[in-house]
Amino acid sequence: MVVVTGQNKVSANPDDAMSSSDAEDDFQEPATPTATQAGQALPLLPQQFPEVVPLNVGGMFFTTRLSTLRRYEDTMLAAMFSGRHYIPTDAEGRYFIDRDGTYFGDILNFLRSGDLPPRERVRSVYKEAQYYSIGPLLDNLEDIQPLKGEKVRQAFLGLMPYYKDHLERIIEIAQLRAMQRKARFAKLKVCVFKEEMPITPYECPHFNSLRFERSESETKLFEHHCEVDVSFGPWEAVADVYDLLHCIVTDLSARGIAVDHQCIGVCDKHLINHYYCKRPIYEFKITWW
C-alpha cells in the first residue's frame, strides 16, 4: 500500500523509508551550537585592569599604578597588562605573576622613577630585567659596575679559544680524580701561556725577529703539547697570564667550586738545538667539601 500526499510519495517499505531519511540527513543544516560550544568558540573578551593594580609576585605583594607597568610598551609587563592576555588572580584578587619576587621591587622602582639598584644587587636585577624584557633598565645596568667591567672581561675572554670547554674539562677531571681516590680534593696541572712560540731566557731579546724568520718546516719542529691536564693559550692582548688565571678562578668560584693555584715550574721540554718550551705550569687544587 502506498500513501500519497500531494506530490510526495512515501514508500510503505521500511527499508525504502530509512534510505529516504538518510538522504535527507545529508542536506540538513548544522544544528545550533549549545551554549558551552558557543562559549568555547568565542574569543575571550579583553581583560580590564584597575588604575591601581595589586600584585602577587611569587608570594610577595606589591601595589602600583597600571601606567607604571605599561611605562615601556616593548616590555613583558606592558604586554601582560595590555588587556590582550589573561592574568590569573589569587584568593585576595591580586594579579599573580609566577616569578620570584625578591627583586621585583627594584624593577618597579626603575619603572616609577628610573632608580637603579645598589651595586650588590645589580647582577640579580639584571637577570630579572632580562626576564621582563625591560631594555632601558638593561642598558643602564650594563653601563655600571660590575656589569661594565664584565663586558671588558668578556671581550678579553673572547680571544681565548675553547675557554668554556677548558673550564668544564678542569671540573670534569677534578671530580673524577676525587671520586676515584675518595678524597676531599683533587689536583691537576694547567698550562697558561700567552706567547705561542717557545723561547729560552737568553733568546728573549731576539724573540720577535726569530718568530717571523722561521720556515714552515722549522715551525713544525716547535709544535708541542705540554704534559698537562688542560692548556690555555696563546692570545694577543695586553692582559697577561695572571689576568687569565684570575678569570679562571673567578668563573670556577662563581659555580661554587673552591680552587687554589700555584706555579710549580715550567715545561722544560727540549725541542730543538737550544730551544726549550718554558711555558709556566700551575697546579690547581679543587676542594669539593
Q: Do residues 56 and 106 both lie within one domain?
A: yes
Q: Which helix (H) or strand (E) holds 130?
A: helix 122-131
255-267: burial string, b at 16+ Cβ within 10 Å, e else: eebebebeeeeeb
List CB contacts of 260: < 8 A, sequence separation 6 or more: 284, 285, 287
DSSP secondary-structure letter at 206? G
Higher pLDDT, 28 or 243: 243
Percentage of the chain lying above the pLDDT 70 cut: 73
Whether the CB-CB separation of 185 and 288 falls below 8 Å is answered with yes
- Write down the pLDDT at residue 161: 82
**In this structure, what CATH number is given to the domain that contains residue 67?**
3.30.710.10
- Write down the pLDDT at residue 21: 46
Q: Among 144, 174, 189, identify where a domain stops.
A: 144
Q: Residue 76 is part of which domain span?
A: 52-144
pLDDT of 6 higher than 70: no
Q: Do residues 185 and 271 both lie within one domain?
A: yes
Whether the CB-CB separation of 146 and 122 falls below 8 Å is answered with yes
C-alpha cell read off for 255: 659555580
- Write down the pLDDT at residue 216: 57
Higher pLDDT, 150 or 18: 150
Q: Is the pTM higher than 0.75?
A: no
Cα four-point dihedral sign 73, 76, 77, 83: positive
Q: Do residues 195 and 278 both lie within one domain?
A: yes
pLDDT of 204 higher than 50: no
Q: Do residues 179 and 239 both lie within one domain?
A: yes
Span 59-116, pLDDT tens digits: 999 999 999 999 999 999 999 999 998 999 999 999 999 999 999 999 999 999 999 9
Residue 206: inside a domain, yes or no? no
